Chain A
Amino acid sequence: MLDALLSGAHQLFTLATMLTMLVGVVAGVIAAAIPGFTITMAIVLTLPLTFAMPPLQGVATMLAVYVGGYTGGMISAALLGIPGTPSAVATTFDAYPMARRGEPGRALGIGIWSSFFGALVSTFVLIVAAPPLAMVAVKLGAWEYFSLIIFAMTVVASLVGKSMLKGLMTGCLGLLIATVGSDPMMGEPRFTFDLSLLANGFPFLVVLIGVFAVSQLLQEVEDAEQVKQGKKLISANVVFKPMDAMRETIARPLNLIRSSLVGVFIGAVPGAGGSIANLLAYDQAKRASRHPDSFGTGTPEGVVASESGNSATSGGGLIPMIALGIPGSAVDAVLMASLMIHGIGVGPRLILDHGDIVYGMFMAMMLAAGMVLVVCLFSMRLFLRVTDVPRSIIVPVVLVCCVIGAFALNNRDTDIYLLLCIGIVGYLLSKLDYPLAPLVLGVILGPIAETNLRRALMSNEDWMLFLTRPISLTLLILALISVILALRYRFKASKRQPSQT
């Protein structure tokens, strides 16, 4: 382990890596601060730029964008009342009133420190939890792996969106999209209809860009009135007292740790991620508070809960990815893809075969959290300007970046056409309230699921083994429970609110 740690440190602490990480942090903060530009979009578009880098430098740069993004989302949430990313929704509840009251500097300061501590706690949990989990996971057979993917898919489908049927439908659609092209065991072409467009299947990155960038950007320009009139920033002078903000943040250790742990846990559950964690952490903090009524009026408690909660998901999401090869969110899926592009197999053996990269990632997380803190505390005033960029500039520029990203992966023209098709399908599905995260996880998990299913049956033709091997059975039962719980919850919710349409 010490060898791997030192080798990871050796690769990480080079001038080139530190420099690209710093650029990544700044880019992440800026991108997430711009309303309509999400963290996922930023990471997806960073991926093509990392092709030319060594594996650890590429992943570390993307992690820097990720960690920076969680802090950046807070800027527009606090100053405009618009969450820059979905993971900063709860931040608007208290940071915005605080800023309106004339304390924007205090709101931002507390937010930055909470993000930092959240990221730190989550990295700590990651370091403690991932290696032992991987040691267990290495012993899993093909049966357990297939059941694990079934479990992950049902959890995603039941957590995301309003309708379980729709979540399952997009998840399965993702699995189906992954089967286009040559089959993983025999290389037999499937569903290609002899078209050169489909001959290579749908590359994962193209699906991701189409779904998370193109279709989302189209939604950004839907409201014709809103596009034309920009919203003004809070004009009051921002007074920044970093040390006071730190004292105020660590004066709430219980809230900080509880919210961070909520974030870590939610991040580790496939599909949940930051957009849920901030709301849950906020809710928990409100319940535990002695002054629950002060929440929503600009209390520092609320800012601490939301910001440490969403930043902590970054480490949590890496736990299943590093230990099991199953990404916890779309962002983790991109990180996984970036390793796979460099020919590194991601799965439970990752930590054994490429310990240097895994420990390098742990250190990169910490380093990125520190960089975000320094960058934000010293140049906050510059970042305040970016929330002013109008959509008429953001939308076309990011769309051009999408085309570059889709093309640069394989230098294939057909990938650009596929991007258009996926973008249209994604836009159509999201207009009809279909959650898109299950689709992306389906695309990345599809080949893993199929290979394991076929490998399991190759070694023994008995289908009953999925039900008689204890771990596999447990996972399938958990999958069933997650479906039942979700259905029950939805049934209750619909009873409480008899259709208000």
Chain B
Amino acid sequence: MNAKASSQTARSTDRANAWAHIVLNGALALLFAYLFLRAGSLPESAWEPLGAGTFPRLILAVLILLNLGIVAKQVPRAVHSPRLPAGSTRQWLWRHRLAFGVLGLFGAYTLTVPLLGFRLASFAFLMLVQYLLGARRWRSLLIALAIALTFSFGIYALFQSVFSISLPSGILG
């Protein structure tokens, strides 16, 4: 890639970054405005001048201003930087495939811990993530298996007996 092309990519990621800010901070400003209105209905107190809603409203007001400020700073950047070349979103998603993969598995893991129990859910999560991140040969799969067993069934037993903390037992009872 020559210098011109690389500066072109940098400028277009600039645009993507600016739009990401505008969308996120715009959405946050709206959310905070909604919460600000909602906090108005929190009860006043009989003993103090400030009710339950005053402090949150103070913070929310500052947050709305800060988010609008960030949006205002990003608009010129978004307008002045060149358009993204076609397919760059797909490229970006592909480059982050491992992070999204791990996040997806982690999401599934957190949701299944209460149902399947800590042992089964952790074992499946540990095996799948290690496979995803590169444990593909027999030897590394064996290491992965040992680690998965230690940090699911082993940790469960350790917490049960040493720290007397029961992690969710789930379907194994």
Interface hit among A55-63, A111-119, A169-177: A169-177
Whether the Cβ atoms of A186 and B62 lie closer than 8 Å is: no
Q: Is B155 an interface residue (CB 8 A)?
A: yes
A457 beta carbon closer than 8 Å to chain B: yes
Asked if A408 is at the interface (CB within 8 A of a chain B CB), the reply is yes
**Chain A's nearest CB lies how many Å from the CB of B92?**
11
Stretch touching chain B among A25-33, A96-104, A126-134, A413-421: A413-421
Minimum CB distance partner of B147 in chain A? A393
- 11 residue pairs A–B, Cβ–Cβ below 8 Å: A51-B163, A51-B165, A165-B66, A169-B70, A179-B59, A190-B53, A191-B39, A227-B134, A395-B129, A403-B109, A458-B47
Pair A222/B164 contact, Cβ less than 8 Å: no
Give me 4 other A-B pairs in contact (C-beta within 8 A), A169-B66, A404-B167, A458-B47 excluded. Answer: A52-B164, A396-B130, A420-B110, A454-B50
Give B37 Cβ to nearest chain A Cβ, in Å.
12
Chain A min CB distance to B39 (Å): 7
Are A179's CB and B129's CB within 8 A? no
Residues of B within 8 A of A395 (CB): 102, 129, 133
On whether the beta carbons of B129 and A176 are closer than 8 Å, the reply is: no
> Secondary structure at chain B's binding surface: helix, strand, loop or mixed?
helix
What are the residues of chain A within 8 A of B38 when measuring CB–CB?
191
Measured between C-beta atoms, what is the minimum distance from A17 to chain B in Å?
16
A222 to B94, CA, bound (A): 10
A349-371 contact mask (Cβ, 8 Å, vs B): 1 or 0: 00000000000000000000000
The one of A397, A413, A449, A458 in contact with B126, judged by C-beta atoms closer than 8 angstroms, is A397
Mask, A155-169, CB within 8 Å of B = 1, is: 000000000011011
**B14 smallest CB distance to A (angstroms):** 5
Interface residue A424 (Cβ < 8 Å from any Cβ of B): yes
Given A221-B99, A400-B155, A407-B167, check contact A393 B130 (CB 8 Å): yes
CA distance A214 to B110 in the complex (A): 12
Assembled-state Cα–Cα distance A424/B106 (Å)? 10
Q: Are A224 and B103 in contact (CB under 8 A)?
A: no
Q: A427 contacts which chain B residues (CB < 8 A)?
A: 99, 103
Chain A CB within 10 Å — which of B102, B111, B125, B152 has the most?
Answer: B102
Chain A 41-65, CB-CB to B under 8 Å as 1, else 0, gives 0000000110110000000000000
B59–A454 CB distance below 8 A: no
Contact flags (1/0) for B139-173 with A, using CB distance below 8 Å?
01001100100011001000100011111100000
B-side contacts of A432, CB under 8 Å: 17, 20-21, 24
Within 8 Å of chain A (Cβ to Cβ): is B33? no
Q: How distant is A251 from chain B, measured CB to nearest CB, in Å?
A: 45
- Contact B50 A457, beta carbon cutoff 8 Å: yes
A390 & B103 in contact (Cβ 8 Å cutoff): no
Q: Give the residues from 370 to 407 in chain A that come closer than 8 angstroms, CB to CB, to chain B.
A: 390-393, 395-397, 399-401, 403-404, 407
Q: For the complex formed, measure the closest distance between the CB of B52 and the CB atoms of chain A, giving whole angstroms.
A: 4
Knowing A173-B63, A190-B42, the reply to whether A396 touches B125 (Cβ < 8 A) is yes
Query: A188–B41 Cα gap in the complex (Å)?
Result: 12
A219 within 8 A of B: yes
Q: Are A175 and B59 in contact (CB under 8 A)?
A: yes
Q: How far is the CA of A203 from the CA of B106 in the complex (A)?
A: 20
Asked if A247 is an interface residue, CB under 8 A from chain B, the answer is no
Contact with B along A282-304 (1 / 0, CB 8 A): 00000000000000000000000
